[in-house]
Amino acid sequence: MAPATSHHLYPPFPNDIPTAPLVSVSLAKLEASDGQESQAFFDACKSLGFFYLDTSNSPFGEALVSEAELLHELQKEFFTVGHEEKEVYARERVDPCFGYRHGKLSDGQRNETYNMRKDDFVGNCDALPHPDLIKDNWPLLQSYVRHCRAVIDLMITHLEVHLQLPIGTLAGLHRIKERSGDHIRFNQRAVQPYSEGDAKEGEHTDFGTLTILFNWLGGLQIRHPETNEWIYVKPVPGHAIVNLGDSLVKFTAGILRSNVHRVVVPPAPQDQIARNSLVYFSRPEDVVVLRRLKGGLIDEQPRSEVPELEMTSQEWIQRRSLGDLKGVYTHKGLELRPQMTAGRV
């Protein structure tokens, strides 16, 4: 049975535009260690780096979707809070990577995000300050973190099998009780006209390991790896969108793909309301050095003549998000944004 969602309350995604060829992978079948489904999952991780995760017929998956729907309502309420109150929890005041952030549009509207770190919810450290609305929903956020991490841990185990690595090789770099950059993100984009400059600026790959995304409107686009064409990813009720991040490219010497993507204005008629999305980003433990692993299929990969950038996960995230490595990271290496390259010495 497919879990109930609120997609029917929004304008429909149009049927007359091209959409990205994401395969659908069944969570229930991955839980059951279905060999054919596991292979389809691995193939998607190597080819497009994006896929739909079908949560139907999985009590665990249905719980994840139900919590995502509750958090969707929570984030909409959060973004109605006065700007002055939200800015008390701005990243500039709380933490460089966690807290509230916004960008102002020419008409005074805002594109807004709120990042909440996993370590707060599982007790790995003293929690950062949060508004009462978040603290009042702490148990829901804790449960969502644990459900997302359980799904991610399951997928990591399947990757270890296909990569012919000893079980625990990747999982041991992503222990939930160790400090990491994992976090939940609330996103809200205001109604706005399409801007080619903003679209180009927003092109990126995710910094970490696996990302679980729920959205209710279009707007997400991926760059097709063969044609370089930008194509919308259609939201599908009862399905999460999962994509791979930079660390899996580094760990596997390019066997796995971290695909370039961006968020733009949704297609009509969905472009007339604010767009919210709910994201869980998983990342390796802060102290893990991002470099090629040893063993299995990875040892069969050719070695690059260009020295590999080696730094901890925490350093990589900080430099990719705030420092000198802004751009996209693929199996070909780091592609710096043109404006970041200009004037460099």
Q: Whole-angstrom Cα distance, residue 26 to residue 127? A: 35
Does residue 275 contact residue 66 with C-beta atoms inside 8 Å? no
Residue 320: predicted pLDDT: 81
What's the pLDDT tens digit per position in 54-96?
999 999 999 999 999 999 999 999 999 999 999 999 999 999 9
Q: Looking at residue 15, what is its pLDDT? A: 95
**pLDDT band at residue 335 using 50, 70 and 90 as cut-offs:** low
Identify the residue whose tokens are 């707007």: 219
Q: Are strands 275-281 and 183-189 parallel, antiparallel or unpaired?
A: antiparallel
Q: Which residue has the tokens 């600026």?
A: 201
| Arithmetic mean of pLDDT over the chain | 93
* Overall average pLDDT of the 4-19 stretch: 96
Side-chain-side CA neighbours of residue 336 (13 Å): 11
Mapping DSSP to helix (H, G, I), strand (E, B) and coil, where does residue 134 land? Answer: helix
What pLDDT, in 10s, does the model give residues 195-249? 999 999 999 999 899 999 999 999 999 999 899 999 999 999 999 999 999 999 9
Q: What pLDDT is stored for residue 322 in this prediction?
A: 76
Candidates 250, 179, 146; CA nearest to 208 is 250
pLDDT on residue 321: 79
pLDDT band (50, 70, 90) for residue 341: very low
User: What does the pLDDT read at residue 318?
Assistant: 87
The DSSP secondary-structure symbol of 14 reads: P
Which pLDDT tens digit goes with each residue over 106-142? 888 999 999 999 999 999 999 999 999 999 999 999 9
135 CB burial (10 A radius; 0-12, 13-18, 19+): exposed
Pairing between β-strand 110-117 and β-strand 239-244 as defined by DSSP bridges: unpaired
Specify the pLDDT at position 338. Answer: 53
When pLDDT is cut at 50, 70 and 90, the band that residue 340 belongs to is very low
Higher pLDDT, 14 or 3: 14
Please work out, in degrees rounded to the nearest 5, the angle formed at the alpha carbon of residue 273 by the alpha carbons of 272 and 275.
125
The DSSP line for 37-62 is HHHHHHHHHHHTSEEEEE-TT-HHHH
Helix residue spans in the chain (DSSP H)? 27-31, 35-47, 59-78, 83-87, 91-94, 118-122, 132-136, 138-162, 196-201, 246-251, 313-321, 338-341
CB 225 within 8 A of CB 257: yes
Residues in contact with 10: Cβ distance below 8 Å, sequence separation at least 6, in sequence order: 216, 217, 270, 273
What are the Cα distances from residue 312, in Å, to 15, 71, 183, 285? 44, 31, 18, 9
Q: Is 279 left (phi over 0), alpha (psi -120 to 50) or beta?
A: beta
Structure tokens at 57: 């017929």
State both tokens at 176.
């939930």
Yes or no: say if 167 and 143 are a contact pair by the CB < 8 Å rule: no
142-179 pLDDT per residue, tens: 999 999 999 999 999 999 999 999 999 999 999 999 99
Res 305: pLDDT: 79
Q: How confident is the model at residue 333 (pLDDT cuts 50, 70, 90)?
A: low
User: For residue range 264-316, what is the model confidence (pLDDT) as tens digits?
Assistant: 999 999 999 999 999 999 999 999 999 999 999 999 999 887 777 789 999 98
Q: Span 248-263, mean pLDDT?
A: 95
For residue 181, the tally of other CB atoms under 10 A from its CB is 25
CB crowding 23-45: b at 16 or more within 10 Å, else e: eebbbbbbbeeeeebbebbbebb
Identify the pLDDT of residue 343: 26
